[in-house]
Chains A and B, each alone.
Chain A
Amino acid sequence: DQQVKQNSPSLSVQEGRISILNCDYTNSMFDYFLWYKKYPAEGPTFLISISSIKDKNEDGRFTVFLNKSAKHLSLHIVPSQPGDSAVYFCAASAIGDMRFGAGTRLTVKP
């Protein structure tokens, strides 16, 4: 039962352009949403998050948007850089629980 879904397994963008990664969830009890970045042979590292009481959170080049009615969130990276190439996981949390999507592999080409 996939409560968090990332339907795009991969995304390729040109350096300097915007990267948009999408995520959908099914459980309306989730109240906190996170994005993690993962490099090979390392554990996922926290990138940015958003509470369900907000619809946007920005941190430098990274912005997360939340659409609660659609149960959808997205991560925007602008401008994209080659160092952003990694697997990005979306996560949704309720108290004591945290579920992840399947990940999207982002490749930023120079």
Chain B
Amino acid sequence: DAGVIQSPRHEVTEMGQEVTLRCKPISGHNSLFWYRQTMMRGLELLIYFNNNVPIDDSGMPEDRFSAKMPNASFSTLKIQPSEPRDSAVYFCASTGQGSGTEAFFGQGTRLTVV
């Protein structure tokens, strides 16, 4: 397996534009996480899915952020409209069934909003 795949690796966009980040989890994994890396909070959990169902989205900072998982092999994180303070590295991770398993991370998407 190629691991967790995120695209794009880098995104530069203008303030007010819509941004869509994409993630393909490891095949067979049933939990998917979106994290944002910041200096102050480290890896901040935005939302996670179990079996394609959003379980906890309390970490999503504002209504401008939304995430979907239409099937077991694909998820998106959308920011609309984007703002400069959204600039960060966004990571997607997936893990297998139940507790006691580690999460595998993608390479991340570095988002810059100018």
Contacts and interface: CB of A to CB of B under 8 A. Distances in A.
Given A43-B91, A44-B91, A97-B48, A49 B102 contact: yes
- Residue among A91, A100, A101 having the largest count of chain B Cβ atoms under 10 Å: A100
Contacts of B102: 34, 46, 49
Contacts of B103: 34, 46, 91, 98
Contacts, number: 65
Interface in B17-44: 31, 33, 35, 40-44
Contacts of A31: 99-100
Contacts of B95: 98
Interface in B54-111: 55-56, 91, 93, 95, 98-108
B107 A96 contact: no
Given A31-B99, A100-B43, A46 B48 contact: no
B43 A96 contact: no
A92 to B, nearest CB: 11
A43 B106 contact: yes
A6 interface: yes
Contact of A44 (B43, B50, B99): B43
B105 A6 contact: no
B48 A98 contact: yes
Contacts of B43: 44, 89, 91, 100-101, 103
A9 to B, nearest CB: 9
6 smallest A-B Cβ distances: which pairs?
A: A102-B42, A43-B105, A100-B43, A46-B102, A103-B42, A96-B50
18 contacts: A32-B99, A32-B101, A42-B107, A43-B4, A43-B91, A43-B105, A44-B43, A45-B105, A46-B103, A49-B102, A96-B48, A96-B55, A98-B95, A100-B45, A101-B42, A102-B41, A102-B42, A103-B43
